[in-house]
């Protein structure tokens, strides 16, 4: 996999640095095990490059539901749509089953934290709906948060269920406090504020892949939050669709080889683009970031500190895991 390293203009204090990896890879579409094998390989490569954190795109395991807009996905009670959804559900990640155990073991072995986008098949919600979940695995191998996307975007609502606020959490990692959101959640001011209010200084936004999503918003979020912002995208090409894929020809006929072109990028706390969006190829961006730059930029704007007015404006966040049934025995 191609390694991309931005230039480091200054030498920060050693205690202020964190090396991060942004892995733009494609899934083996709708194949959980094969895609997780690629993730394990990318984590190993990031660890070999000295990364303390590696992040992957939205819904990477087992892939984004690109079939919906390409196969008349809104047709009600359609046998084809039912069949594709059933395959998608079958390939969903069941955390309780141990699907992520090898990844957790690798994180602990290599002492590297991981942000990974999955389609979660959740037993606590009956096991037949999928949640677009962003998983944070700490460097000790423990799953520290599972953030289910608050609300699927547009056609995603035909395949994904709505999540909750349980995973709106940040995590201490070296001199940084890292948090993350899925795709269009990054447009939600209150979702961002929920992370800012916990002291976030490195924001990880994950995307299914698309330059149109990452060329503007990460710069805005960086300027707003005065944090580093990593936008990590997936990639999808026709060649990533296995030959046995249902409706493969119909999905492929809409354009060229590239279905989702990536767009992974990294932005500094002042809005400077450190890594221009990477498109049309798999790559691992490896960057050393400096917590001192966050402190500098908070001097004139600190949204949850000196530039806040909680007596006038305040946010209430419900982090209860939502369940349809609660039993008392």
Task: Categorize the per-residue pLDDT at 108 as very low, low, confident or very high, splitting at 50, 70 and 90.
Answer: very high
Over residues 269-286, the pLDDT tens digits come to 999 999 999 999 999 999
For the question of residue 250 being annotated catalytic, the response is no
Read off the pLDDT of each residue in 98-127 and give the average, rounded to a whole number.
98
Identify the pLDDT of residue 14: 78
* 158 pLDDT above the threshold of 90: yes
CA angle 256, 261, 263 (to 5 degrees): 165
For the question of residue 183 being annotated catalytic, the response is yes
Measure the CA–CA gap between 270 and 223, rounded to whole angstroms: 6
Average pLDDT over the chain, rounded to an integer: 96
Read off the pLDDT of each residue in 10-27 and give the average, rounded to a whole number.
91
Identify the pLDDT of residue 11: 75
* 182 pLDDT above the threshold of 90: yes
Least confident of 4-13, 29-38, 165-174, 203-212: 4-13
Q: Among residues 51, 104, 132, 183, which one is catalytic?
A: 183
How much of the chain, in percent, has pLDDT values that exceed 90? 95
Task: Give strand ranges (E) for the chain.
Answer: 2-4, 17-24, 53-55, 113-121, 130-137, 143-148, 171-173, 176-182, 202-207, 228-233, 236-237, 258-260, 262-267, 273-279, 283-290
Read off the pLDDT of each residue in 125-143 and give the average, rounded to a whole number.
97
Least confident of 63-77, 242-256, 266-280: 242-256
Identify the pLDDT of residue 313: 95
Read off the pLDDT of each residue in 193-205 and give the average, rounded to a whole number.
98
Identify the pLDDT of residue 7: 80
| CATH C-level class of 14-297 | alpha beta
| Cβ neighbours of 193 (radius 10 Å) | 21
Identify the pLDDT of residue 13: 78
CB 289 within 8 A of CB 270: no
Q: CA nearest 304: which of 240, 238, 247, 226?
A: 226
Measure the CA–CA gap between 177 and 182, rounded to whole angstroms: 18
Read off the pLDDT of each residue in 239-255 and give the average, rounded to a whole number.
92
* 5 pLDDT above the threshold of 80: yes
Pairing between β-strand 202-207 and β-strand 258-260 as defined by DSSP bridges: unpaired
Over residues 294-312, the pLDDT tens digits come to 999 999 999 999 999 999 9
Identify the pLDDT of residue 9: 63
For the question of residue 132 being annotated catalytic, the response is no
Measure the CA–CA gap between 151 and 132, rounded to whole angstroms: 9
Q: Among residues 38, 51, 58, 200, which one is catalytic?
A: 58
Which CA distances in Å does 176 have to 18, 143, 286, 319? 8, 18, 16, 22
Q: Among residues 51, 104, 132, 149, which one is catalytic?
A: 149
Identify the pLDDT of residue 251: 93
> Which pTM does this prediction carry?
0.96
Identify the pLDDT of residue 188: 98
* 10 pLDDT above the threshold of 80: no
Task: Categorize the per-residue pLDDT at 1 as very low, low, confident or very high, splitting at 50, 70 and 90.
Answer: confident
- Any idea where the domains of the chain sit in the sequence? 14-297
Measure the CA–CA gap between 307 and 324, rounded to whole angstroms: 39
Alpha helix segments (H runs only) across 111-216:
189-196, 211-214
Read off the pLDDT of each residue in 243-250 and give the average, rounded to a whole number.
94
């Amino acid at each position: 996999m191609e390694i991309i390293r931005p230039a480091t203009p200054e030498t920060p204090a050693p205690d202020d640095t964190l090396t991060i990896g942004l892995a733009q890879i494609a899934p083996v579409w709708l194949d959980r095990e094969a895609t997780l094998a690629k993730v394990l390989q990318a984590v190993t490569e990031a660890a070999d490059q000295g990364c303390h954190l590696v992040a992957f795109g939205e819904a990477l395991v087992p892939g984004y539901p690109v079939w919906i807009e390409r196969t008349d996905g809104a047709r009600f009670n359609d046998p084809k749509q039912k069949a594709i959804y059933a395959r998608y559900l079958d390939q969903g990640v069941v955390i309780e089953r141990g699907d992520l155990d090898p990844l957790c073991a690798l994180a602990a072995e290599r002492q590297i934290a991981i942000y990974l986008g999955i389609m979660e098949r959740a037993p606590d919600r009956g096991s037949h709906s999928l949640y677009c979940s962003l998983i944070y695995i700490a460097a000790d191998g423990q799953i520290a948060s599972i953030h289910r996307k608050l609300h699927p975007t547009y056609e995603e609502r035909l395949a994904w269920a709505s999540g909750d606020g349980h995973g709106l959490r940040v995590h201490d990692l070296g001199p940084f406090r890292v948090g993350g959101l899925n795709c269009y959640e990054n447009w939600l001011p209150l979702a961002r504020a929920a992370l800012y209010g916990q002291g976030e200084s490195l924001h990880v936004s994950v995307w299914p892949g698309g330059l149109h999503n990452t060329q503007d918003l990460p710069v805005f979020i960086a300027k707003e939050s005065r944090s580093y912002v990593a936008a990590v995208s997936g990639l999808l090409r026709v060649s990533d669709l296995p030959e046995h894929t249902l409706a493969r020809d119909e999905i492929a006929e809409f354009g060229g080889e590239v279905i989702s072109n990536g767009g992974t990028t990294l932005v500094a706390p002042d809005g400077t683009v450190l890594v221009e969006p990477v498109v049309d190829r798999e790559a691992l961006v490896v960057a050393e970031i400096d917590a001192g730059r966050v402190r500098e930029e908070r001097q004139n704007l600190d949204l949850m500190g000196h530039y806040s007015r909680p007596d006038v404006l305040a946010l209430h966040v419900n982090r209860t895991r939502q369940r349809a049934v609660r039993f008392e025995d």
